[in-house]
């Protein structure tokens, strides 16, 4: 994994999609300490402050040198007075006072543990805490009581990711498995198994393992695979998603399944070009489960889906902002012109960047 910039792109460009962000940066420890504060803001549902810190962190991640003074850091985008002050503390004392306090705070410890469960966002974590839950065992008991669960719903900043409550219960039940990170080799093995099953249903499909894996992470929390077939139309894409998950379920490879088709994402104009299956995958004999997301895309939007699901979240956020400034709309399901909704098809990943008027950024440099 590369740890520093490989091209002559400006490391202090304003948007994350215009600069290179390695997985591990020269100021990694500082970044991790500021991230504790960002997470606390998120847990408090102070989204604006959380986003400010996320932007500050992203700026530092792209900075190619070790930061030597707060003033030096203050010259970067989105490093305001508060962040600059905290960086000063870190440089002077080797730690950020607020970070230290937060790490010792019992409530944040509990909230961090709750939100480590797939499907539990800050709102649900706060609700569980308010009900007196302090451990994951407490949370399990809470969900075991039908009276408690009637009105709860899972929350997430991205409404695309909003999950039915049943998933929280599944995640809690499987927490020991789902909490284990998946090494790259295992990601590849599972993708191989899945693609073999797909090949039997429909020969000639292609796929990209996206997500953190593609950004070079040595271990992933889940597996994201984007799939297409050169001749598949919208209808066939939805069918393939259904047929593959049926087969995987029948063979016991998929133990839990939630399939999302176009109807579930009404915000997107052309949502049915993509079909999603959020699953729990279990390799027989390996006696462990992991989260596997399958994304099926018609060929016209395959590359935007690959870019979308490669992340990082901040990289995507800024891709959308950048696209907007060019009169375009970017999301996983395609690129459209804002004035007349006409679709622009990207024929490769590099094409996506070219259409958006951006320099190509290698996936391993999208860790904003
Ligand atoms: P991890 O935690 O090791 O799995 O790390 P990542 O970076 O793979 O995180 P993940 O799997 O949550 O998301 C990967 C990228 O895919 C991220 O940029 C957001 C995007 N993504 C995930 N779920 C959805 C979704 O439901 N809709 C859309 N449009 N994008 C999604
Ligand atoms: Mg992932």
318 lines ligand 1 (CB under 6 A): no
Question: Which residue's CA is minimally distant from atom 10 of ligand 1?
Answer: 211
* pLDDT for the residue 271: 66
Can you tell me the distance from the alpha carbon of 153 to that of 267, in angstroms, rounded to the nearest whole number? Answer: 20
In the three-class reduction of DSSP (H, G, I as helix; E, B as strand; rest coil), residue 282 is classed as strand
> Is-contact 359 14, C-beta < 8 A?
no
Count H helices, E strands: the chain?
A: 17, 10
> Is-contact 254 281, C-beta < 8 A?
yes
> Is-contact 276 176, C-beta < 8 A?
no
309 lines ligand 1 (CB under 6 A): yes
Query: Which residues 6+ apart lie within 8 Å of 106 measured at CB?
Result: none
Residue 207 in tokens? 């796929």
For 41, 47, 57, 275, the CA distances from 50, given in Å and listed in that order, are 5, 5, 10, 31
Q: What pTM was estimated for this model as a whole?
A: 0.92
Residue 37: φ, ψ to 5°: -70, -45
In the three-class reduction of DSSP (H, G, I as helix; E, B as strand; rest coil), residue 297 is classed as strand
Can you tell me the distance from the alpha carbon of 23 to that of 145, in angstroms, rounded to the nearest whole number? Answer: 42
Identify the residue whose tokens are 């910039």.
5
211 lines ligand 1 (CB under 6 A): yes
> Residue 312: is the preceding peptide bond cis (ω within 30°)?
yes
Which element (helix H / strand E) includes 259? strand 254-260
Using alpha carbons, select from 335, 358, 330, 357 the residue that is nearest to residue 346: 335
* pLDDT for the residue 156: 45
pLDDT, tens digit, 9 for 90 and up, residues 100-158: 999 999 999 999 999 999 999 999 999 999 999 999 999 999 998 877 765 555 444 44
221 CA: nearest ligand 1 atom: 3
Residue 78 in tokens? 């989105």
How many other CB atoms are found less than 10 A from the CB of residue 89?
17
Q: Distance, CA 315 to ligand 2 centroid (Å)?
A: 14
- DSSP string across 189-258: HHHHHHHHHHHHHSTT-EEEE-HHHHTT-SEESEEEEEEE-TT--HHHHHHHHHHHHHHHHHTTSEEEEE
ipTM over 0.90: yes
Domains and CATH numbers, the chain: 16-103 (1.10.150.110), 117-178 (no CATH), 305-365 (3.30.210.10)
Residue 293: φ, ψ to 5°: -105, 125
* pLDDT for the residue 326: 97
333 lines ligand 1 (CB under 6 A): no
In the three-class reduction of DSSP (H, G, I as helix; E, B as strand; rest coil), residue 6 is classed as coil
Which residues have a beta carbon within 5 Å of ligand 2, which is an ion?
A: 211-212, 222, 224
**Regarding beta strands 254-260 and 328-331, do their DSSP bridges make them parallel or antiparallel, or are they unpaired?**
unpaired
Give the mutation target among 212, 215, 314 for probing the ligand 1 site: most ligand atoms within 8 A of CB.
Answer: 212
Can you tell me the distance from the alpha carbon of 293 to that of 162, in angstroms, rounded to the nearest whole number? Answer: 14
Which conformational region is residue 286 in: left (phi greater than 0), alpha (psi within -120 to 50 degrees), or beta? Answer: alpha
Query: What does pLDDT average to in each consecutive run of 10 residues of the chain (368 residues)?
Result: 64 96 98 98 98 98 97 97 97 97 98 95 96 97 82 48 73 92 96 98 98 98 98 96 96 89 54 91 85 97 98 98 98 95 96 98 98
217 lines ligand 1 (CB under 6 A): yes
Can you tell me the distance from the alpha carbon of 204 to that of 209, in angstroms, rounded to the nearest whole number? Answer: 16
Can you tell me the distance from the alpha carbon of 333 to that of 365, in angstroms, rounded to the nearest whole number? Answer: 22
333 CA: nearest ligand 1 atom: 29
313 lines ligand 1 (CB under 6 A): yes
304 lines ligand 1 (CB under 6 A): no
Q: Rounded to an integer, what is the distance from CA 147 to the centroid of its chain? A: 32
How many other CB atoms are found less than 10 A from the CB of residue 353?
18
In the three-class reduction of DSSP (H, G, I as helix; E, B as strand; rest coil), residue 276 is classed as strand
Identify the residue whose tokens are 């989105």.
78
């Amino acid at each position: 994994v590369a740890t520093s910039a490989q091209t002559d792109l400006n490391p202090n460009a304003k948007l994350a999609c215009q600069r290179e962000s390695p997985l591990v940066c020269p100021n990694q420890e500082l970044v991790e300490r500021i991230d504790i504060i960002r997470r606390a803001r998120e847990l408090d549902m102070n989204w604006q402050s959380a986003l400010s810190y996320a932007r500050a962190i992203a700026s530092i991640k792209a900075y190619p040198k070790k930061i030597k003074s707060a003033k030096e850091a203050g010259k970067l985008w989105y490093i305001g007075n508060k962040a600059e002050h905290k960086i000063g503390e870190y440089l002077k004392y080797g730690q950020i006072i607020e970070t230290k306090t937060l790490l010792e705070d019992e409530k944040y410890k509990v909230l961090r543990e709750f939100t480590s469960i797939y499907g539990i966002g800050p709102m649900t974590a706060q609700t569980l805490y308010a009900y007196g839950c302090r451990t994951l065992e407490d949370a399990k008991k809470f969900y075991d009581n039908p009276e408690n669960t009637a009105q709860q719903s899972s929350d997430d900043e991205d409404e695309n990711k909003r999950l039915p409550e049943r998933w929280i219960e599944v995640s809690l039940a499987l927490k020991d498995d789902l909490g284990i990170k998946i090494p790259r080799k295992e990601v590849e093995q599972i993708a191989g198994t899945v693609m073999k099953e797909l090949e039997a249903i429909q020969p000639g499909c292609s796929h990209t393992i996206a997500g953190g894996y593609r950004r070079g992470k040595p271990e992933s929390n889940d597996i994201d695979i984007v799939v297409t077939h050169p001749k598949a139309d919208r209808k066939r894409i939805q069918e393939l998603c259904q047929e593959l998950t049926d087969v995987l379920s029948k063979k016991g490879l998929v133990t839990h399944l939630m399939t999302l088709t176009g109807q579930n994402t009404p915000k997107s104009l052309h949502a049915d070009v993509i079909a999603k299956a959020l699953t729990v995958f279990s390799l027989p004999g390996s006696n462990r489960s992991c989260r596997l997301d399958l994304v099926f895309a018609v060929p016209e939007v395959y590359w935007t889906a690959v870019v979308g699901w490669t992340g990082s979240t901040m990289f995507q956020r800024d891709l959308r902002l950048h696209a907007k400034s060019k009169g375009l709309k970017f999301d996983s399901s395609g690129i459209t012109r804002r004035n007349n909704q006409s679709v622009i098809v990207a024929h490769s990943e590099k094409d996506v960047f070219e259409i958006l008027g951006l320099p190509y950024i290698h996936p391993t440099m999208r860790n904003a």
